[in-house]
Structure 1
C-alpha cells in the first residue's frame, strides 16, 4: 500500500484507538504471567503415549500458537483413519485459576495488522501448549474412521502425549501435493478433503466463497488484498468441520453440551426477495434447486454472481449457541450452513469455548460424568462468547486500512461493482461498492437507483481513517 506518512500514522493511530476501545491489551497482568510460568514448569503429560504418530501441522508460516496437528492413513480393507490432535489447554489452565479468569475476560485471540492480542499468555500458547514440532506435549487426540466414500463411521477422543514432526504452511503443502512430491499422509489430505466436500454437498452444506479482505504488515509496509483461498485450505477445513460435527454428536448422545446452531430463513418475503435478486441478475434458480446447491455452483469471480452471494447471505440467519444438560435436548440442534449439528472444538488456544467442548467429549468417550467446572460454566458460555470481539476487530482494521490507502485520493473517480444495496430498507440509492484494484469495499450513494451487479463510476467523497462515524469511506456515483 502506497500511502503518505500522514496516512500511515493515521492508520497506526486508528489501530491503537480500536484496541483501546475494545480494551484489547497485548500485556497480561503480572499474576497471570506468574501462573503461566508455574504451569509451564510443572505440567504433567498424559499416560497414553501417541508419540509414534507422525503428526504434522498446517498453518500460516509465522504462526506459533498451533491448535491442530493431523495424521492421515488408509485403513486395511478400505477407507481412511484420521488422527487429529487438539491442543490440551486444560493441562495448563486449571479450573478456577487466574489464567482461566483472564481468558473468560478476553474470550478469543484478536488479530490486527501490526500485532496479535492472544487469549492466553504466549509463554503457554506459543510454548508447551502449542503443537509445535519436535516437542512432546499433551493433546486431545481424536480418531476418525471413514469409509471409502468419506463418510465417518466412528469417532472418539482421549488425552494423549503427542509429538508433531513437521510445521507446514498452506502454500508449501499445495505446491507439494500438486507436484506429487508430498509424503503420503499429506497427499491424502486432498483425497479425503475432496471426499468430505462431496459429502458436504450431498447433505446440503453451504460454501459461500466470497473474497475476504486482509490487511497485513510485512517488512514495514501495510498490504491490503483480497485473499485467494487455496484448495488445501478447504481440505484442511473439512478435517476441522468433521471434528466439530463429531463433537456435537458425542455431546448430543451423552445428553450434555453446547452447540453452534443456525436456522434457515423461513420468512417468505425474504425468500422471495432473494429469489427476485437472482432473477434480476440473470441467475437461473429453478424451483427444485436448493439454496445450498445454487450457492455452491456460483463463481464469485463473476461480478453478478458475487453481488448475489453478497445479498444471499440473508438466507442464513445469525448463528447462536444452544446449551443442554441431563438429556434435555433443545428443539433446534442443526447448523444450516453446515447442514448438521456442529460445535466449535478445534481451536482452544484461540477461542474460549473449544476448551469446554473438548472436555465434555473426552469425558463422554471415557464413560465419565462431565467435570463440575464445565457444567458450572455451561450456562454462561453463550453470553461469554457473545462478548467476543474477533470479527469486529477484523472489520474495523480493514475499514481503517481502506481509508488510509485512499486518504490522499479524495475527488478521484474509480470503477467498481455494486454488490449490495439497501433496497430492502427502502433506500435503493445506497449500497456497497466493490473495487477490484485497489482491494476496497466502501459505501456508495447515488441520485438514481443502484442496480445490483452493475459496474459504475464513482467519485471518492471521503476517505478518513479517523472519521468517527460508521462509514470512513464514501463514494458517490459520478
Structure 2
C-alpha cells in the first residue's frame, strides 16, 4: 500500500521545532554524546578484537549472507541466508552481530550501555547504545567485510518448522545490504537471489505456525518522521510484505533462544500475560458495535488476520492493542519464572537479534551460546541477569516518552499555520468521553474531548490550535461543537 505523506514542516516554525525537540531531550536526560573514556575504550576494542577465524571462531565466510533493513541503516545487527533442501524444507543461517566480543564486562562501554539501555531514535538525531565506531563499523554486519557473529543454523521442514537448531560464534561476510523496498521489488520482478526469493514462502509458513500456536500480530500502520532537506514530513505506511517475512526470522530466533534458556534454567525472557477475561469480553462487545463481530468459534489471531483495511477494522485493531499490554522481562537462574510465555506470540520468547541496539540481547546471546556449547555461563552474565529487567524497563519508558513527544511536536509543526482548516478524520476509539482520531491527511493522530461519534466513523474537525513548543493540537467538531481536546 502506498505511503500517505504529509506536507513539510513550514519553514517559519523549523527553528521553534528544533528548540522544542532539544528541550524534550533535556527533560528526559537523553545523552548528547559518549564520555571520552567510553569512546577511547570502544576505539581500542575496534582495533584489538580479531575478525579472523580461529579454533573457537568458525569460518562461515563462504555463506553468501545478506542484510535486510530500512533504507540508510548502518547499525546492521542481522544477516541471513536461506536455501531450499531436496526434501522441500530449508536451511536458514541467521548471523547476529557479536557485540559481546567488543564490550568488556564491567568496562566503560558496558557501563554506558547499561545507562542507555537501547538505541533511541528521534527526528533530530539517533542516540546509539554503543559508540558509532562499534555500532556502525567494527561490530556492524556491513557488506563485503569480515565480521564476527553468533550464527544460528535452523534446519526447517517443508512447513518451516525447526527440526534442528545450532548456535556458534563465527566470522561471516555479507554480500549485499538490501532495503525492504529494494528487496520487495526484486522479489516481485523475479530478480531476487535465492535467500530473498524464499522469504515469502518462509513468512507465509511461519505465519501459519503462528496461527497454530495461537499467536497474533496486529501489524498496525506506522507513522514515521522522515527527514527531508532541513525539515521533516510525516509518512504513514503499511510497509511491504518483506518486512513481515523478515520479522518472522527474528521471531523464530527469539523463540529458539527462549527454549534453550528455559531448558538450561538460566536466562531472561520477554514475557506478556494473557489478556484479562473482562478485557476480552469488552473487546468482543466493541467488535459487535463496530459491525465486525468476533465469533466465539474463531481464534483471536485468526480474527485479527482476517481484518481488512477499512476504518472499522482500523478501529478494531486500536481496541485490540489494549489487550497487548503488561510486557516485561523475567530473569531467572535455577527456578523458572511463574510466567514464561509472551501471550501475543503464543510461546516463550526472548530478545536475541538486536545486540547493537538493545542491551538485553547481549546477555541472551552469551547465555544461549554457552548452553548450546555445553559450557558454564560466564560469571559476569550470570551475576548481572537480575539487573536487566529494571534497566530495560526504565530504558523502554524513556524511549516511549521520547518517541511520542517527538511525534507530537512534529505533528503540531506540520499543522501549524492551518488553524481554521477543516480535516477529515476516522474515529479510532472512544473512552471516557475522549475520542482518539486519525486525520486522513496529513497522517496525524489526535484526541478530541466530547466528540459525539462512534469508532470507525468518519468525522470533520476544525483545527483550533497547533502548539509546537508544547507538542499539542486542539480540534473542534465541525458539525456540532460539543467539546475540544488537546493531545
Give the match's secondary structure for 1:235: helix
Q: Conserved in 2, the CA contact under 8 Å of 1:139 and 1:160?
A: yes
Distance in 2, matches of 1:87 and 1:461, equals 49
Match of 1:450 in 2: 453
1:184 and 2:221 matched: no
Q: Match of 2:13, SS?
A: helix
Contact 1:445-1:477 within 8 A present in 2 as well: no
Separation in 2 of the partners of 1:51 and 1:324? 35
Q: Deviations over 1:418-474 (max 9, x none)?
A: 10211xxxx23x12111111111111122x64311111111222211212xxx7112
Cα distance, 1:332 vs. partner? 1.6
The match for 2:330 among 315, 322, 325 is: 322
Q: Check conservation: 2:146, 2:171, Cα contact below 8 A.
A: yes
Alignment of structure 1 residues 165-180 onto 2, 5 Å: 165-180=175-190
- 2:377 pairs with 370, 380, 389, which one? 370
Bigger shift: residues 94-103 or 410-419: 410-419
Normalised by the length of structure 2, the TM-score is: 0.93
Partner of 1:308: 316
Structure 1 position 414, deviation (Å): 1.4
Choose from 26, 42, 48 the match for 1:20: 26
For the residue of structure 2 that corresponds to 1:127, the secondary structure is helix
Confirm whether residue 293 of structure 1 aligns to residue 302 of structure 2.
yes
Instruction: Give 2:392's aligned residue.
Output: 385
> SS where residue 367 of structure 1 aligns?
coil
* 1:101 alignment partner, one of 95, 111, 123: 111
Could you give the per-residue CA deviations for residues 289-344 of structure 1, whole angstroms, max 9, x where no partner exists?
12222111112x20011011101222233211111112x11222111111111010
Bigger mean CA offset, 97-106 vs 201-210: 201-210
Looking at structure 1, the residues matched to 318 and 155 of structure 2 have their Cα atoms a distance apart, in angstroms, of 37
The 2-side partners of 1:100 and 1:421 are apart by 45
Aligned match for 2:260, one of 241, 244, 250: 250
Let me know the Cα RMSD of the aligned residues: 1.4
Aligned-pair CA distance for 1:370: 0.9
- After superposition, where does 1:377-456 map in structure 2 within 5 Å? 377-388=384-395, 389-422=398-431, 427-428=432-433, 430-446=434-450, 449-456=452-459
Matching of residues 10-89 of structure 1 within 5 Å = 10-45=16-51, 47=54, 48-89=58-99
Residue 149 (structure 1) aligned to one of 159, 169, 179: 159
Q: Does 1:462 align with 2:471?
A: no
In structure 2, what is the equivalent of residue 336 of structure 1? 343
Query: Does the alignment pair 1:272 with 2:281?
Result: yes
Aligned length: 466
Deviation at 1:21, TM superposition (A): 1.7
Cα shift readout 1:231-272 (whole Å, capped 9, x = no counterpart): 00111111011000000000011110110011121232x222
**Secondary structure of residue in 1 paired with 2:137:** coil
Instruction: Structure 2 unaligned segments of length 5 or more: list them.
Output: 1-6, 479-487
TM-score (norm: length of structure 1):
0.95
Would you say 1:354 and 2:361 are equivalent positions? yes
Structure 1 unaligned blocks of 5 or more: none
